[in-house]
Amino acid sequence: MKTPDQNRDGAHIEQGEAGVEQLLRSRLKETTERMIANPGLDAIENGELTQNEWREFAKQRYLAALHFEELLEAGIKKAQEMQDQKLAEVLAENLRDEQGVDEQGQPKEDGSHEKWRQDFYNALGLDGHALSTAEPLEGTKKYDEALKKLIDSADGLTVAGALLMQEYSIVREFIRIQKGRDRAFPAQFEYSDTDTDEQCRQKEAARLYIDDHIKHDAGSHYPDLLHAISKYSADESLAKIKNGMDVINEAKQEFYKSLEQIQEQK
């Protein structure tokens, strides 16, 4: 029999919002560690992919990210329907960050994530045509289907849980991808003492998509969202949040199986 300060996972937690945050942080950490401990990310981080294999992986990442803004928009709409203004605003700030606009809808000086994404893919040697004609691998299709189901979901806490998992796990994924990027494409991303000012500017722009995601998702998007949903301490509410987290975890595991297919095509 569980005591009042135990959750369904059997973990001892404090009561109230601090306890919910502790519970979710623990679950996120454990789940993400399992998620990113896979041969595909090992190969990327350790520089084992050829540049062409890396480009194939990058195409799959591009395809997998296509519906993220839609998921944020769905989360905002559902939070508003729940009359949770705090949650809606946290997600709206995340969406504005993705779109590169401020609260008044004016463009930010550092641009949108779409522009950063273009600079990143251009540095890899992938233009718009290469990305738009890319074919999704089976794991990417499953990831895409999972996001579409979440977008169509009627439950706001499930979507919030999915977004929480996204914001937490992407930092850990991108740290590994960042290392692999610099190993595979040093001339495009690594600074050199011989770089001209223009080359430094180009590399800074090319690095921004990965590097800024690591900084901002860890420093603001994840903790802000965690705090916004920590008031939902009822068992039923927590079950919905955990369900959303699990959907993303399972979808990302399917996605990373695609990396094995890329290497098998040698």
Q: What is the pLDDT of residue 106?
A: 77
Work out the angle between the directed axes of helices 156-184 and 235-264 (0-180°, nearest 10). Answer: 30
Distance from C-alpha of 157 to C-alpha of 167, rounded to nearest angstrom: 15
Question: How far is residue 215 from each of residues 101, 139, 218, 219, measured CA to CA in Å?
Answer: 18, 27, 6, 6
Q: What is the pLDDT of residue 206?
A: 97
Q: What is the pLDDT of residue 114?
A: 82
Q: What is the pLDDT of residue 226?
A: 98
| Contact indicator for 100, 107 with CB cutoff of 8 Å | yes
Residue ranges in 185-234 assigned as alpha helix (H): 186-189, 197-216, 222-229
Domain boundaries, the chain: 16-66+114-264
Q: What is the pLDDT of residue 264?
A: 58
Q: What is the pLDDT of residue 1?
A: 38
Count of Cβ atoms closer than 10 Å to residue 47 Cβ: 15
Domain 16-66+114-264: which CATH number of 3.40.50.970, 3.90.1150.10, 3.30.56.10, 1.20.910.10: 1.20.910.10
pLDDT in tens, the chain (266 residues): 343 444 444 444 445 899 999 999 999 999 999 999 988 899 999 999 999 999 999 999 999 999 999 999 999 999 999 999 999 999 999 999 888 887 877 777 666 778 899 999 999 999 999 999 999 999 999 999 999 999 998 899 999 999 999 999 999 999 999 999 999 999 999 999 999 999 999 999 999 999 998 987 787 899 999 999 999 999 999 999 999 999 999 999 999 988 778 875 65
